[in-house]
Amino acid sequence: MDNAGGAQVPRQVIERITEYLSHYNVQQGASYEVSAVSGQKLKAVTQGLAKLINASRQEEIVVGPSTTLLLRILSICLSRQWKPGDEVIVTNSDHEANVSCWTDLKEQGIIIKIWKLNPDTLTFELDDLKKLITTRTRLVAMVHASNILGTINPIREFADFVHEKGALFCVDGVAYAPHRQIDVQALHVDFYVYSCYKVFGPHLAVLYGRYELLRGLDGLNHYFIGKDQVPYKLQPGNFNFELTYGLQGTLDYLDALQKHHFPGVAEDQFSKVFELIAAHEEILAEHLISYLRTLPAVRIIGMENSNRNTRVATISFVHANLKSSDIVKKVDPHRIGIRYGDFYAKKLIHDLGLDLDEGVVRVSLVHYNTLQEVEQLIQVFREIL
C-alpha cells in the first residue's frame, strides 16, 4: 500500500525486458538486420505510449530516466528563450520535481511566484491565479493530483485560462497516471510528465510536449544533434532501450485487462479499463476513509470522501497524539507497506504545519489492492490508533 512511491509490475513487463535483452540488445541505427528490428520494436513502443495518452504524434513522447530529470531538462531548454524579468508560477502543493527545476531559474533573473492552495478547502482557486499571472508570465506549473492530498485538480479549466493569458502550462501527472487515463489533447496542456514505475512499468518516465514547442527548443544533447531531431535532442546519452521496451509490457497488461473484462471492445482503447479501475479504487478508498472518519484523534489531510471524480485513492492523515513515524513503524511488523513523511511535497507539509508530526501517514492504493487487504490494515489500525 505504498504504491504512490512505486507500483508492482505485471508479468508482461518482466517478459518484455527479458525479450529485449535476449533478442534485440544491440545499438540503434546500424545497418545490420537486428539493429533495424530493434529500432522498429522501440518505435512501436513510443507509438503505443502516444496512443495511450492521446498525443498527436510519437515525436511528442520523450522517454527518460525520471520525472525529475525530464522536467529539469525541459526547464533548462525552455529558459534559454526567456529573459530576466520573465515570470514562472509554481504551486505549494507539487512534488519538488515540478518546483525546484523552475525556482532555480531565479539565478538567471526569472521571477518565481507561488500559487497557494486555499488553506480552508485545500483546493486551488482560479481567482488566486488571476492575481499572480501577468503579461510577463511564461509558464504555470502544477500537479494533476496531489501525492499527499489525492485531490484531482481541474486541469482543463486552468489550462484554458493560462493559454488565454499567453503562457505555457506544465503538468505533473505522476500521482494521477496510475489511476486514470490521460488525454493530453483533451486536457489542453503544453507539457505533461509522469513516472512509468508508478504506472506498473519499469523505472522510467515520460514527458509529453506539443511537437511545435519541442521542435522550437534548443536541445541538451550533443551540438550536432539538430533541432529537428525530436525527441532525441532532449535525451542526452539516449534512453534506456531494454526498460523502454519493458513499457510495452504495461500496454500488454492493459490490453489483457481489457480483453478479460470487456471482450470485443476495440483494441488499445483503454477508457473502460480505467473506468473500472476508478470504480474499484473508489470502493477501497471509501472503506478506509469511512473508518478513519470515526476516529476523533485522526485528521484526514484532504477531502474526506472517496468520490472518484475529485480524488484518487491516495489517503493521508495525522493523529493528534501519535507521531506519523510511530504509527507506520507499528504497522511494519504486520507486513503491510505504508509510509510516512513529506513525500517531497515539502512546501505543502510546511504550509499545513505538519513538520513536527514528521509529515503524514500515507496509504496509497491501486487497482490490484483488494477490499480484504484494506480490512487487514484497518484491523491493525484498531490496535494502534
SS3 85: coil
Which helix (DSSP H) or strand (DSSP E) does residue 143 occupy? Answer: strand 137-143
Contact 187, 155 (CB under 8 A): yes
Residue 267 has pLDDT above 70, yes or no: no
d(CA 295, CA 289): 10
* Confidence tier at 268 by pLDDT (50, 70, 90): low
Average pLDDT of span 59-81: 98
Residue 304 has pLDDT above 80, yes or no: yes
β pairing state of 191-195 and 168-172? parallel
- DSSP single-letter state for residue 235: -
The 10s digit of each residue's pLDDT in 75-94 is 999 999 999 999 999 999 99
State phi, psi for 51 to the nearest 5 degrees: -65, -40
SS3 187: helix
Peptide bond into 231 cis (omega under 30): yes
Measure the CA angle with vertex 11, ends 8 and 13; round to 5°: 75
Residue 265 has pLDDT above 90, yes or no: no
The 10s digit of each residue's pLDDT in 198-248 is 999 999 999 999 999 999 999 999 999 999 999 999 999 999 999 999 999
d(CA 86, CA 68): 23
Q: Domains in the chain, start-ordered, CATH in brackets? A: 10-251 (3.40.640.10), 271-384 (3.90.1150.10)
The 10s digit of each residue's pLDDT in 331-374 is 999 999 999 999 999 999 999 999 877 999 999 999 999 999 99
* Confidence tier at 269 by pLDDT (50, 70, 90): confident
CA Rg, the chain, in Å? 21
Separation of CA 242 from chain center: 22
Average pLDDT of span 150-160: 98
